[in-house]
Amino acid sequence: MRIIRTAVEMRDAVEPARNDGVVVGLVPTMGALHAGHLALVRRARLDCGLVVVSLFVNPTQFNANEDFDSYPRNEAHDLELLERNGVDIVYAPTAAEMYPDGFGVTVTVTGLTEGLCGARRPGHFDGVTTVVSKLFAHCRPDAAYFGEKDYQQLKVVERMVLDLDLSIRIVGIPVVRERDGLALSSRNAYLNVYERRIAPALQDTMRAVAGRLSGDVELEAQCRWGRDALLAAGFDEVDYFEIRDSKTLQSVEACRPGLRVFVAAWLRETRLIDNVAVDEVE
């Protein structure tokens, strides 16, 4: 497994593979890898002849009051996991490599970014789309793999690729969960034992709401119920509990196929997000 730190070296590393028609797959990550990331890696390994995983904690997708400094970093452990999972190249650029002096470009997706996390984390998705378009330019993948846990991010990246005509296939991979239903996230490491016990209420509450949805149910009331249920379970604050269209992420008035429940809530200092497709819930 090769470890690469510069854009030039990265580009050179994929060039021969591309020229030989080898399919290149990229799994962009911020490190602190868990089984959710490894599901992406395994799928990339199935699909692609050359698998690149990027490790980059991107400062521009964190707001000033967010957890950039404390975000978990453990490169040695990440590299070990990636090696064991058959990754060919790890791309771990420095911030100076990604954002040299005078850097001044932003790639923005409108529409899809307006609600949910976009409303709560101004500039977050601009940071994501900008860094992802740079990672794409460095790694030149044929396919890139994103987890559905960050479902809005997945949709936003799909839109960016479509609108900038990047000819990269974006593959979304279902959420990987703990036995008790908590979605895997690098931020779960922030939770203490007490909070960890409360956290599965996220998925339980979403599924309870999703299971109850049918033609004549008032969505607004269900979301209010979900929000109250989370607070009752011990969450300190609920950023949103919403039901939206899975494709457009638009708010919906009435129940119909193709909906998804989205939630973001705080356990003390830790913000957790999750989502579930209504149609998948029995």
- If one asks whether residue 215 binds a second copy (CB under 8 A), the answer comes out as no
Q: Measured from the CB of residue 111, what is the shortest distance to a second copy in angstroms?
A: 4
* Whether residue 34 lies in the annotated active site: no
Site for a second copy in 56-85 (CB under 8 A): none
- If one asks whether residue 106 binds a second copy (CB under 8 A), the answer comes out as yes
- If one asks whether residue 105 binds a second copy (CB under 8 A), the answer comes out as yes
Q: Residue 163 in contact with residue 239, Cβ under 8 Å? A: no
Q: Which of 149, 159, 227, 244 binds a second copy (CB under 8 A)?
A: 159
Give 22's DSSP letter.
P
Q: Which of 167, 214, 215, 221 binds a second copy (CB under 8 A)?
A: 167
Q: Of residues 34, 37, 77, 138, which has the active-site annotation?
A: 37
Q: Measured from the CB of residue 9, what is the shortest distance to a second copy in angstroms?
A: 13
Q: Which of 1, 9, 11, 266 binds a second copy (CB under 8 A)?
A: 11
Residue at token pair 């299971």: 211
Q: Which of 20, 69, 101, 165 binds a second copy (CB under 8 A)?
A: 165
- Mark the segment that binds a second copy (CB under 8 A) among 23-31, 100-108, 189-197, 220-228: 100-108
Backbone angles phi and psi of 275, in degrees to 5: -160, 155
3-state secondary structure of 161: helix
3-state secondary structure of 147: strand
| Residue 131 host element (H or E) | helix 124-139
Q: Which of 102, 193, 257, 282 binds a second copy (CB under 8 A)?
A: 102
Take residue 174 and report the two structure tokens written for it: 């279902």
- If one asks whether residue 160 binds a second copy (CB under 8 A), the answer comes out as yes
Pairing of strands 89-91, 169-173: unpaired
CA nearest to 13, candidates 153, 141, 111, 183: 141
Site for a second copy in 116-135 (CB under 8 A): 129, 133-134
Pairing of strands 89-91, 50-55: parallel
Pairing of strands 237-245, 89-91: unpaired
Between residues 12 and 269, which has the closer beta carbon with respect to a second copy? 12
- If one asks whether residue 138 binds a second copy (CB under 8 A), the answer comes out as yes
- If one asks whether residue 257 binds a second copy (CB under 8 A), the answer comes out as no
CA–CA separation, 133 vs 110, rounded Å?
16
Between residues 35 and 137, which has the closer beta carbon with respect to a second copy? 137
Residue at token pair 């999703």: 210
Between residues 137 and 189, which has the closer beta carbon with respect to a second copy? 137
3-state secondary structure of 235: coil
Report the 10 Å Cβ neighbour count for 128: 25
- If one asks whether residue 112 binds a second copy (CB under 8 A), the answer comes out as yes
- If one asks whether residue 22 binds a second copy (CB under 8 A), the answer comes out as no
- If one asks whether residue 94 binds a second copy (CB under 8 A), the answer comes out as no
CA–CA separation, 254 vs 264, rounded Å?
22
CA nearest to 5, candidates 40, 55, 45, 50: 55
Between residues 104 and 257, which has the closer beta carbon with respect to a second copy? 104
The site for a second copy (CB under 8 A) is made up of: 7, 11, 102-112, 129, 133-134, 137-138, 159-160, 163-167, 248
Active site residues: 37
